[in-house]
Structure 1
Amino acid sequence: MANSDIPVVVGLDNGGNSNNATVLDLNGRFLVDTLVETPCQVLKGPEAAVEALADALEQVLVRTGTSRELVRAVGLDTPGPASAAGVISSRGSTNFSQPGWRGYDIRGALERRLGLPVVYHNDGNAAALYAHHTYFRDDPMRRSSVSAIVGTGLGGGVVERGQVVTGAAGMAGELGHVHIPLFGLLAEGQPVPLCNCGFVGDAESVASLTGIRRNLLPYWLTRFVGHPLGDLDPVEAAKRVRSYGVDSDPMAIRIFEQQAMALGRLFTIVANFTDPDAYFVGGGVVEASPEFREWFLATVRANTNLRTEQEERARFALVPDLDMAGARGSAIAALTFLNGDRHGTDQLAGDRPVGPAPP
């Protein structure tokens, strides 16, 4: 339960089916250690969705015994594409498909509904921010990191000195649409992968669930004739590849090996632009068995081509608490905003880093 006299911020993570909420007090302690989910109502349109976000805030306050008067700011994340100010793309998105969402200012609408400052990031950036502050909990404002989060697409974010790099239009950190070298990654006769965005051979066309369904699985099923996944609907088959990978199925291992190689090549490109202290990987692999996670992360690292000086400093780790990372990252963004001096949060009380402590 909350300490009744310590002000708080609330983090709200808007997803395709539900909202997840968390509470972070001004001492840097999360008051929620599990998912607190409520329906998101995005299919009912903007007005219903904003009301659902307000309801999510109220419910997490009740859950933690926190008075509404103690809330000083709110962090919000949604799937992209959206501007840095929280305006949904004029072309809409997978989650915000109805015409009413196109060009909708969800951050501003929620701010008016709550009467509180609302800080916005897309979901990949919010998760990246949480990974960064958790790993570098003692000194996040002097460190940099990049996160790649494998889901339906390939999200992520770039954090520099504890702050998310958003770019002029809010599109920075769209790592999935960076073109990667394919020579040596594709098998003999394997078609060049196509992305839903229209790009050819970008990272998302390989390292995503959509990439598995559209590009990788159809090819590998021709090399593993009679595989059980060949009898399933392509969407369902793609979802099941991970469970086969955990069981060391040869075809699934080849698929995930290609995904790990793609991420390594992506990180190699990033290394020459931002030269970060840490590289984080999130997504379904985080939810797999420890042995599979370790193998996948090691394969990513083996395919990241760093200079000797970079290898001595670079760290590779998994995004922690992935289901809660968006809401927690959004809360951290709100607390950083509230501090005003942009020095970020102090150590997040009660959290442990996901890798070895930085030097």
Structure 2
Amino acid sequence: MGSATVPVVVGIDNGGTSNNATVLTLDGRFLVDELVETPSEVQAGPEAAVAAMVAAFDGVLARTGVSREQVRAVGLDTPGPASATGVISSKGSTNFSQPAWRGYDIRSGLERRLGLPVIYHNDGNAAALYAHHVHFGADAMRRSSVSAIVGTGLGGGVVESGRVISGAAGMAGELGHVQIPLGTVLAPQQPVPICACGFAGDVESVASLTAIERNLLPYWLSRFPEHPLVGEAPQRAAKLVRGYGERGDELAREIFSQQARALGALFTIAANFTDPHAYFIGGGVVETTPEFRDWFLAEVREHTVLRAEQVALATFALVPDRDMAGARGVALAALETVRAVPTPPPLVGD
């Protein structure tokens, strides 16, 4: 059956500058094998941003030769914080900073414009869902996983039996704000890091680009006063650290080793709380050279404390197709909704 006739779902990954879209057939074939990006217009407010999502939707259909009539549902992800149904936090967020975004129902806004069912996840959950299903394949609905997505902040997701755990208010899987023991993470006399959310010593306060700029780089530059990054603007210096890390620079490797130890502490908590089959890492920290990726993943694994029974079963891996993981993850969520069976009756009656 060709793409001109088969039913599909569309996935849209909304970011601070771009939307990335994909198309997935109901028999599980992605019709896009690369990034299909268009401007997201989020800084222009909700109306312009939703119009940009519609443009992304129309653009990816045109690229794949699929008509609107073939689309059964749309998956949408955005950065958080937002509710499980796509209502942006009443305090806004980094990407949705204008007052008009506060409390805005972005899922319903897109649904009204498209006239199609829209299924929502935050971007961390979407990437986690995709990593889980790609890694486990046919066994995905019988496996569990935890994912940490390291970027400007730290997102993530918990997947159980192939489905994202959203929680009562949609805040499950906000792994960046889990507070961790710092004894194995910080160097002697290193100040306790503070997260942008106000927490002291949560994972994001160490494992994120923001953490490098605000917390880690100032400390380590004081230990390496002759380093080339001394004198660089903090924001620019933070973005340059990964390149130094790839080249084996001692200061940069100290910073990323701390980030790996923080993720290991997070996964240790996960091991005792959800006991997953797999631990995934994604985001900018691993969008790098193979040598650096392998080193970083090995550092995380080394600092994750598991029991012998867990070691025999657990896998550590990178989120695949990293730039496309969000769009593909919400496309999978939309596909699951389209395929869903009726809700089973309760086990206990009235």
User: Which TM-score band applies after superposition, normalised by the shorter structure?
Assistant: over 0.9
TM (norm. structure 1) is 0.94
Tell me which moved more, 272-281 or 184-193.
Answer: 184-193
Structure 2 CA distance for aligned equivalents of residues 97 and 67 of structure 1: 35
RMSD: 1.2
| Equivalent residue letter for 2:256 | F
Deviations 1:332-354 (A, max 9, x none): 000000001299xxxxxxxxxxx
State the SS of the aligned residue for 2:273: coil
* Aligned counterpart, 2:142: 142
Q: In the alignment, is residue 234 of structure 1 matched against residue 226 of structure 2?
A: no
* Aligned counterpart, 1:304: 304
Does the CA contact (< 8 Å) of 1:87 and 1:104 recur in 2? yes
Does the CA contact (< 8 Å) of 1:146 and 1:279 recur in 2? yes
Structure 2 CA distance for aligned equivalents of residues 288 and 49 of structure 1: 30
* Aligned counterpart, 1:278: 278
Residue ranges of structure 1 left out of the alignment (5+ in a row): 344-359
Q: What pairs up with 1:1-359 in 2 under 5 angstroms?
A: 3-341=3-341
| Equivalent residue letter for 2:88 | I
Residue ranges of structure 2 left out of the alignment (5+ in a row): 344-350
Q: CA distance change for structure 1 residues 267 and 129 in 2, over 3 Å: closer, same or farther?
A: same
Length, aligned pairs only: 343
Structure 2 CA distance for aligned equivalents of residues 145 and 342 of structure 1: 26
Does the CA contact (< 8 Å) of 1:83 and 1:169 recur in 2? yes
Deviations 1:113-158 (A, max 9, x none): 1010000000000000000010011111111000001100010100
Does the CA contact (< 8 Å) of 1:205 and 1:211 recur in 2? yes
| Equivalent residue letter for 1:201 | G
Deviations 1:184-203 (A, max 9, x none): 32111111111000000001
| Equivalent residue letter for 2:44 | K
Structure 1 CA distance for aligned equivalents of residues 284 and 37 of structure 2: 19
Shift of 1:216: 0.5
Does the CA contact (< 8 Å) of 2:151 and 2:285 recur in 1? no
| Equivalent residue letter for 1:167 | G
Shift of 1:320: 0.7
Structure 1 CA distance for aligned equivalents of residues 2 and 181 of structure 2: 50
Shift of 1:2: 5.2
Q: CA distance change for structure 1 residues 197 and 342 in 2, over 3 Å: closer, same or farther?
A: farther
Matched-pair identity in %:
71
Shift of 1:170: 0.5
| Equivalent residue letter for 1:233 | A
Deviations 1:250-292 (A, max 9, x none): 0000000000000000000011111000000011232111011
| Equivalent residue letter for 1:84 | A
Does the CA contact (< 8 Å) of 1:131 and 1:319 recur in 2? yes
Structure 2 CA distance for aligned equivalents of residues 47 and 159 of structure 1: 32
State the SS of the aligned residue for 1:230: coil
Deviations 1:162-217 (A, max 9, x none): 11000000000000100111113211111111100000000100000011111100
Deviations 1:49-86 (A, max 9, x none): 11110110000000011111100000000000000000
Structure 1 CA distance for aligned equivalents of residues 231 and 166 of structure 2: 43
Runs of 4+ in 1 over 2 A off after TM superposition: none
State the SS of the aligned residue for 1:257: helix
